[in-house]
Chains A and B, each alone.
Chain A
Amino acid sequence: MFRLTTDPIDPAALREAAGNPHAGAVSIFEGTVRNHHQGREVLRLEYEAHAPVAEKEGQRIVRNAIERFGLDHAEAVHRTGSLEIGESAVIVAVSSPHRSESFEACRFIIDEIKHRLPIWKKEFYPDGSSDWVGCEGCRQGHQH
């Protein structure tokens, strides 16, 4: 399953839920907030999600991964709101009978989350300014 949360994500709970007697592999991916982006120092991040669409689409991604890789278990959680450096923004936990499917599925889920979910990230810089990530090059040059 997939869910959004404003609370810190607990990796131990996700690891616990992924455990399964049928599984020979558990993979966990944690995406964490780093203190730099494109050479610029970053102080903190704010994540915003469109919950109805992100949750629906997130469920599709996880279900899709379970079928595609024959997983025993898959779960992904994405944070929203204000995050400090080092906090986990997203955690993916999967288990499967063998290791290769669990690695691949973990990567598949995080890549699909990045591409398909309506989630946005705003970076805050030491000089007091901020920017929406991914929108820097989209500003229209030709304004009247």
Chain B
Amino acid sequence: MTPPLHGLLLAGGKSRRMGSDKAELVVEGDLSLRDRGLQLLDAVTTETRLSIAQDDQRSYQSSTIRDLRPDAGPLAGLEAAFQQAPGVAWLVTACDLPFLTDSVLQFLREARDPDRAATCFTSRFDGKPEPLCTIYEPSAATTLTQALAGKMRCARKFLYSLHRRDLDLPDKSALDNCNRPEDLEEARLTLRNGRTTKTIMVEYCGILREDTGAATEELETTAVTAAGLWEELRMARNLSLGLEAVRIAINDEFRPWSHPLAHRDKLTLFPPFAGG
């Protein structure tokens, strides 16, 4: 018999890069990312729980599952859920997915393969499985216990280790997430104005040019801001720096990451300066 499917919304993250609790943010409409995430899961599962950090003292209207250990990331949430309801499969999502829709979750539920440990989507950026919009079957519980005992904390690595069914995203941007204020701005502008394809000339300097092996490239993107395009490039080009270390110019003027991109703009990526 197929195990029942419950929903688990992960809201125990520290939102360090965002600087404020991501779950409380409103990207579009009236609902916070937390309430929006719970509503999406409610529509496709029989029961939904909010996964919270071990030391979270706030009170919530929805039912919560508290982590059993501190600082172990998303895997701790899944561990606590398996412990509370053995024999149940969990559709786990993160709350920082403003483009996730109920039709994407329905697609996942319909494609579910209960004979494998997980059913998941692959990333539009690097083609690798995405751990935070995934159905984890009860058969994944033992592997999880072993992984945590072996000090594994990376949800992606855990998912790689499982026998999976990998799916292509029916809507390729559905799992674009928001880690920084710049990503939030990208999401808001996209949801408000829609996605249009534009051609951007990207120019790489210093160590970034060595990473990519080319000084410039022309590419098509639907990213709205420079931060959105960076997110696409970072993994696709295996860039060795983080957004925090890089400054940018658009058409040879310094700009913030949240600056919108226009068709045929030139975006230059600057590693940390070392003149003098």
Contacts and interface: CB of A to CB of B under 8 A. Distances in A.
Given A50-B249, A138-B242, A118 B273 contact: yes
B240 A48 contact: no
A110 B276 CA distance: 7
Contact of B206 (A89, A113, A114, A132): A132
Interface string A51-80: 011101100000000000000000000100
Question: Counting chain B CB atoms within 10 Å of each CB, which of A119, A120, A142 scores highest?
Answer: A120
A135 interface: yes
Nearest to A50: B205
Interface stretch (B40-48, B107-115, B264-272): B264-272
Given A134-B274, A135-B207, A57 B242 contact: no
A31 interface: yes
A34 interface: no
Interface residues of A, number: 34
A117 interface: yes
B156 interface: yes
Give the one of B205, B253, B274 with max A CB within 10 A: B274
B70 interface: no
A48 B208 CA distance: 12
B272 A134 contact: yes
A124 interface: no
Given A138-B240, A144-B156, A132 B274 contact: yes
B156 A133 contact: no
B252 interface: yes
Given A53-B252, A144-B128, A144-B156, A114 B240 contact: no
Tier of interface size on chain B: 20 to 34
A113 to B, nearest CB: 5
Contacts of A115: 273
Contacts of A99: none
A52 B272 contact: no
B134 to A, nearest CB: 15
B19 interface: no
Contact of A48 (B206, B238, B253): B206
B205 A120 contact: yes
A113 B274 CA distance: 9
Nearest to B206: A120
A3 interface: no
A114 B273 contact: yes
A90 B275 contact: yes
Nearest to B246: A138
B126 interface: yes
Contacts of A143: 238
B235 to A, nearest CB: 8
Contact of B274 (A54, A56, A119, A139): A119
Given A132-B274, A134-B272, A134-B274, 18 more contacts: A48-B205, A78-B275, A90-B275, A113-B276, A114-B276, A117-B273, A118-B270, A118-B273, A119-B274, A120-B273, A121-B274, A132-B206, A132-B210, A135-B206, A140-B240, A142-B154, A144-B156, A144-B157
* 8 tightest A-B CB contacts, nearest first: A119-B275, A120-B206, A114-B276, A134-B272, A134-B274, A138-B245, A133-B274, A121-B274
16 contacts: A53-B268, A53-B270, A90-B275, A110-B276, A114-B275, A114-B276, A118-B273, A120-B207, A133-B274, A134-B272, A135-B206, A135-B245, A138-B245, A139-B241, A144-B126, A144-B128
Interface of B: 126, 128, 154, 156-157, 203, 205-207, 210, 235, 238, 240-242, 245, 247, 249, 252-254, 268, 270-276
